[in-house]
A and B are shown apart, each in its own frame.
Chain A
Amino acid sequence: MSLETSQLNELHWLMEMLHNIDVGLVVLDKDYKVQIFNGFMENHSGLLPREVKDQSLFDLFDEVPQDWFERKAESVFLLKNKAFTIWEQRPYLFKFDSYRPVTGSADFMYQNTTFIPLLSSTGEVSHLCLLVYDVTDNAIHKMNLEQVNEELAILSQTDGLTGLFNRTHWENCLQAEYKRWTRSQHSSSLVMLDIDHFKNVNDTYGHMVGDEVIRHISSLIREHVRETDVSGRYGGEEFTILLADTSLKNSYVFAERLRREVEAAVVKYNDIEVKYTISLGIAEIDPSIKNYEAWIECADAALYHSKENGRNKISLHPKQG
């Protein structure tokens, strides 16, 4: 085999590889007219090389945003620098179908692309080469992972039965609110409430009914709080509500409305009807309270006072500031 034949062979093999490689290859001239189009592009677009030769990229593919593309390409022409785009900034350049139409969940092929400047013999950038990579699996995995992580984050903060915050997360929120108060000194109140004689409900009607009562008070709390308030399930039948930017007086109005509504409500479970009441304690933050734990103790003491004095009542923690 002569040297020339072997070189020709190598060139032929190289061409064959480029045609068959599972990466999109397009060469464009300065007017964005297609010069080379490999097998990947041919199969995914359904266009033959002779159909696209010397045609404008933007006429061939409506989905390619001309302004965006030209901006990227011009910096490649001007700066003689590679440019990369990733699926996070634009899911695809060419709207191709995903490789797995049956078992895949993606509606289209997610793509990363690379723009490479091609130099002419005079050292000027005369053409650019576009590489198109299929990153569908990566993209889908990453998006799934992010979604699952978000769900997990919410799950780890939530009490399963009531949908309110769980104790850990609620305490974190309270701690943050306490810190905020030390800077801003905006008034803030903490309401703690407990279902009266809850043990009797469980003992008389069973835990299913007990759970229904807990769900009932939770949904009432959710109805009454504002978006900025933070409510959580503190223990078995004990609940906490942090009322941001709310004075003791206004908190009392809130608590009294809730107490009355509970008093008037009837919880129905199958043919069982239950009435119940709640006791509440409120503590407004003041300088005598040195940390968030002490704040909880103050509200808890007020709640204890309500319990001691006949239940179905509201007690206020005396202000000492």
Chain B
Amino acid sequence: MSTKLLICDDSNMARKQLARSLPDDWDVDVSFATNGEEGIEAIKAGKGDVLLLDLNMPVMDGYQVLEAILAQDLPTLTIVVSGDIQPEAHKRVTGLGALDFIKKPVNKEKLTEVLLAYGVFSKDSSQTEQVDPPKDTIQAAHLQDKTAKPAPLEITPVQTVAPQSNVEVSLSSDLRDCYQEVANVAMGRAGDLLARLLDVFVELPIPNVNFIEVSELRMALRDVEANESTSGICQGFISAGISGEALLILNDSSFKDVASLLNYQYDQDQGTELELLMDLANVLIGACLKGISEQLDIDFSQGHPVVLGQHRKISELIANNASKWKKTLAIEISYSIENYPIKCDLLLLFTEQSMLALNNKLTYLLE
């Protein structure tokens, strides 16, 4: 009898990556759910003996799913697969009954190792019922395994020739999903460092990916209050064919809390605030770029950070650099910190030109 496996993740790319990373010789019947609510339904419908669960999802997140499984005593073995790699997140999900925690992006070896460790899957093909199936069943299982795998992700054709400057770039929903997932993993890395630096639990959002006019950039900043006074740092980065800027924007009201978390003597002079802003920028921008470069196998050079402004309205911070680019791929990540009113926004802005190279890299990632 094949194992009923449920993959619950809001990202199409992540679901497919997971499905591809399953052990080859596992007799498994895979179903998918795109958010926690669907996930719970599927478990109730008997499609989830084993559940591979993401944490950051719309509608109902992974924590809520775990709580529901506990509360309703649903028959499933859960392994969390998440980009949120804070030790605290790990602790929380195991506290809620998850068997283990695998960090994104998953690879076959790690997934197999965890599945083996909990006896969910066994290598000698004896399966959970501990009955040696005859050889032809194994072959059948192989077949079934193959059919269970989703079709490869459709992605806009990649141009291998040098792009013309007037080439029209657009963001399909498949690609947006890919970017979102890459950002999700990178954001998790940065969030983990932030959590360790401040010794807090960082609440990770779902990254917001948009291909927008530079003039619309302000509107992309959904979590920064229009009237609040903010301070910002920007830092350029470049790698062959891919370049952009990272912007870190902090609400001025957050400085006091950040200062106390970092054990800074806060004396309201601008010096301390700039120190704090730089410390946060170093950690978040550095880790996020590293997360992206590891996934896409590229290496970024980073320029020196530049102060965009202090104690200004958000529109004034961003207004300055709006002339050169027409469109930008904007990835917005809003970090907030549990039990503190700290809000900080990290924006990764890629040039229109970079998207061709990025799209190329993403297709490699999907192969």
Contacts and interface: CB of A to CB of B under 8 A. Distances in A.
Is B one of A's binding partners?
yes
Interface of A: 72, 75, 78-79, 81-86, 88-89, 112, 114, 133
B278 A86 contact: yes
Contacts of A88: 274, 307
A112 B302 CA distance: 13
A86 B305 contact: yes
Contact of A75 (B275, B279, B304, B305): B279
B150 to A, nearest CB: 36
B290 A81 contact: yes
Contacts of A72: 279
B304 A133 contact: yes
A82 B286 contact: yes
Contact of B282 (A81, A112, A133): A81
Nearest to B194: A79
B265 to A, nearest CB: 10
Contacts of A89: 271, 274-275, 278
Given A78-B196, A89-B271, A89-B275, A83 B282 contact: yes
Given A75-B197, A79-B196, A82-B282, 7 more contacts: A78-B197, A79-B287, A84-B281, A84-B305, A86-B278, A86-B307, A89-B278
B285 to A, nearest CB: 9
B283 A81 contact: yes
Interface of B: 193, 196-197, 235, 271, 274-275, 278-279, 281-283, 286-287, 290, 302, 304-307
A110 to B, nearest CB: 12
Contacts of A133: 304
26 contacts: A75-B197, A75-B282, A75-B283, A79-B283, A79-B286, A79-B287, A81-B193, A81-B282, A81-B286, A82-B282, A82-B302, A83-B279, A83-B282, A83-B286, A84-B235, A84-B281, A85-B278, A86-B278, A86-B306, A88-B307, A89-B271, A89-B275, A89-B278, A112-B304, A114-B304, A133-B304
Contacts of B196: 78-79
Contacts of A81: 193, 282-283, 286-287, 290
A75 B302 CA distance: 18
Contact of B197 (A79, A84, A85): A79
A86 B304 contact: yes
Contacts of B235: 84
Nearest to B192: A79
